[in-house]
């Protein structure tokens, strides 16, 4: 059994929580995401909120918010975010696995500054140097779309992100484009960027792009772990005709395998996705 929920280790007066944006189609990566989250952030403030469709991640430190049918990424996000009782969240995507410990003092410093300035968002990946008139600034208001970032890691005001997602039905990539359009049109809306131009807050590896990526396979292998390649294959990666044909065939297979796996879990496992069994985790990776 996983350990009981750890105490909230954020600074006094802080209600900051972690939100993981997901859906049932990516439930095969939940075991790995949470394994590395707890490995590199053992005192992560709990509960953690996981947005899904019908499946549940079976860990006492995680509250799964089930939003039902997958109508669109923004629809699920809007409904899920409105069930998170914290003013701000740190957002993560489940296919971006942490690969080193997080500098918590720095993250909480960014959070404190964002809240003090009544901000709605700040990325946790450095994007640009500080403004010339504020050389010591930790964060600064966005001035152009090049300072924007995606949803893989960022601090969001929960209600702002929920309202933003409720405006239209979009997938995640269109949502990122929509935010850039708003920024380009002068709708800054309390959006900030991190001015420390070095990778000192969040370091991760993107492991999936429909299929398992080589980076994901290699990263798990470094930690003595293996994904279920029957559930989500690792096809040839080349640009040659055979590789492209193999990927096109496996797209159909993956859609079928995902639907079968979700249906099986709902029928046989009460919709639960279990953490990695301890016997699958080498002692060096624990």
CATH code at 218? 3.90.550
Structure confidence at residue 4 (pLDDT):
42
User: Which regions in the chain score pLDDT beneath 70?
Assistant: 1-14, 126-127, 145-149, 197-201, 284-286
- Euclidean distance between CA atoms 2 and 154, whole angstroms: 27
Structure confidence at residue 3 (pLDDT):
41
Structure confidence at residue 10 (pLDDT):
52
Residues of the domain holding 113: 1-286
Structure confidence at residue 256 (pLDDT):
93
User: Apex CA 144: angle with CA 87 and CA 108, to 5°?
Assistant: 30
DSSP codes of every residue in 175-192: HHHHHHHHHHTT--TTEE
Count of Cβ atoms closer than 10 Å to residue 285 Cβ: 15
User: Apex CA 214: angle with CA 210 and CA 220, to 5°?
Assistant: 100
- Euclidean distance between CA atoms 151 and 172, whole angstroms: 8
Closest CA to 20 of 77, 87, 93, 88: 93
Structure confidence at residue 239 (pLDDT):
84
- Euclidean distance between CA atoms 190 and 119, whole angstroms: 5
Tokens found for residue 242: 């055979």
Number of domains observed in the structure of the chain: 1
Structure confidence at residue 278 (pLDDT):
78
* Per-residue pLDDT tens over the stretch 43-98: 898 899 999 999 999 999 999 999 999 889 999 999 999 999 999 999 999 999 99
């Amino acid at each position: 059994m996983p350990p009981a929920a750890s105490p909230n280790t954020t600074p006094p007066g802080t209600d900051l929580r972690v939100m993981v944006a997901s859906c049932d189609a990516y439930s095969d990566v939940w075991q790995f995401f949470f394994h590395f989250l707890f490995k590199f952030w053992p005192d992560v403030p709990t509960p953690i909120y996981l947005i899904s469709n019908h499946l549940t991640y079976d860990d006492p430190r995680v509250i799964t918010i089930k939003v039902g049918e997958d109508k669109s990424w923004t629809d699920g996000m809007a409904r899920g975010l409105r069930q998170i009782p914290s003013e701000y969240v740190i957002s993560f995507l489940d296919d971006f696995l942490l690969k080193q410990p997080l500098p918590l003092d720095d993250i909480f410093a960014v959070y404190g500054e964002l809240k003090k300035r009544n901000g709605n968002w700040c990325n946790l990946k450095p994007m640009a140097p500080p403004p010339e008139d504020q050389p010591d600034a930790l964060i600064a208001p966005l001035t152009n779309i090049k300072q924007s970032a995606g949803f893989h890691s960022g601090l969001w005001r929960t209600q702002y992100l929920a309202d933003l997602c409720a405006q239209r039905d979009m997938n995640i990539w269109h949502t990122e484009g929509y935010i850039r359009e708003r920024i380009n049109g002068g709708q800054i809306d309390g959006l900030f960027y991190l001015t420390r131009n070095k990778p000192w807050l969040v370091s991760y590896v993107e492991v999936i792009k429909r299929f398992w990526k080589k980076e994901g396979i290699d990263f798990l292998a470094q930690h003595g772990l293996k994904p279920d390649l029957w559930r989500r294959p690792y096809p040839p990666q080349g640009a040659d005709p055979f590789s492209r044909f193999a990927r096109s065939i496996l797209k159909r297979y993956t859609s079928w395998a995902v639907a079968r796996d979700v249906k099986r879990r709902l029928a046989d496992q009460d919709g639960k996705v279990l953490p990695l069994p301890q016997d699958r985790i080498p002692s060096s990776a624990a």
